[in-house]
A and B are shown apart, each in its own frame.
Chain A
Amino acid sequence: AQTVTQSQPEMSVQEAETVTLSCTYDTSENNYYLFWYKQPPSRQMILVIRQEAYKQQNATENRFSVNFQKAAKSFSLKISDSQLGDTAMYFCAFNPSNTGKLIFGQGTTLQVKP
């Protein structure tokens, strides 16, 4: 079965500092996509960053970057220069290449403190 595990239920970081959220996944597939989604307290899920498994280069979107280790099946999210607006629940998600089905982890609640 394809699963996604986020081992950190809650994390906190001081404003302007860097934080890393962990994610591991299990699959026998070779081609797939990985995502990090942000769900602020207002509930609307927003895509933060996407990584295609066949691309070796780690994805980067402004202050957000990933460390994709395909052999280890690890996909961590680094948030640099944390801002108060980054406070949210963050979900790691896996998507097999041949479906539109997103498989989510349990989420990590991130609190950015002033």
Chain B
Amino acid sequence: ETGVTQSPTHLIKTRGQQVTLRCSSQSGHNTVSWYQQALGQGPQFIFQYYREEENGRGNFPPRFSGLQFPNYSSELNVNALELDDSALYLCASSLGGLPRNEQFFGPGTRLTVL
């Protein structure tokens, strides 16, 4: 059984650029959630995808967007990067989008915006 993987591990961008982060869900899982974790803080929910549809969104602007593919892998896209977007981005996969379905986290992508 393959766990949740994310790519790239680290990324450096400049303000105003666009970035795409990728997440492969654990085998058999159909739901992916994305979180932003600023340094020294708890993760904040960005959005969740269930069977290729957005299934809930946190308090993030529209320049944060996502996709889920038929194989249930997912992308997080951030446009017009700002300095405050520097953070660890975590994805978590689960079988179903409800709290009884345990979320398994990936190792994260560290994004630095200069």
Chain A interfacial positions (CB closer than 8 Å to B):
4, 32-33, 37, 42-47, 50, 52, 91, 93, 95-107
Contact = CB atoms under 8 A, between A and B. Distances in A.
Interface residues of B, number: 31
Given A100-B94, A100-B96, A104-B42, 20 more contacts: A33-B99, A33-B100, A43-B88, A43-B108, A44-B106, A45-B105, A47-B104, A52-B100, A95-B99, A97-B98, A99-B56, A99-B97, A100-B50, A100-B55, A100-B56, A101-B33, A101-B45, A101-B48, A102-B45, A104-B44
A42 B97 CA distance: 26
B2 interface: no
A100 B48 contact: yes
Contacts, number: 71
Interface of B: 31, 33, 35, 40-45, 48, 50, 55-56, 58, 88, 90, 92, 94, 96-108
